[in-house]
Amino acid sequence: MNEQNAEITLEVGEQEFTFNLTPADVTKYFNALTQTNKVAPGHNLLMTTVQQEQKATLKPLLGNPVMVMQIAGALLEEYAPNVEVIVKKRSSTLSA
C-alpha cells in the first residue's frame, strides 16, 4: 500500500480487526460529521473499511455508540500522520 492507504489492525477486547483505510474513506467520514450526527459516520467508517470476513463479528460491538466512537477514534489516530505542528505567536502590533 502507498503512504496514504493504510492497513490497520486494532485489538478490541480479545478480538482483532483489520481495517483498510484510504484518504477517500477518511474524507467521507469527516464530511458526514455534523453537530447532531457523529455516531453514524463512525459506524459507517468501521463497517466499510473492516475486512469483509470480520464484519459479522464487528457489527454486534457497534451497538454501543461509545464503543463506535472509541474504535473509530483509535483507528483515525493510528491513520493520522506524525507531523509536528507549531502555532507561532502573533505579533502584538497591528498593521494598518
Three state DSSP letters for the chain: CCCCCEEEEEEECCEEEEEEECHHHHHHHHHHCECCECHHHHHHHHHHHECHHHHHHHHHHHHCHHHHHHHHHHHHHHHCCCCCCCCCCCCCCCCC
pLDDT at 4 over 90: no
Give pLDDT tens digits for 52-95.
999 999 999 999 999 999 999 999 999 998 888 899 988 776 66
Look at residue 1 and tell me whether its pLDDT is greater than 50. no
pTM of the complete model: 0.83
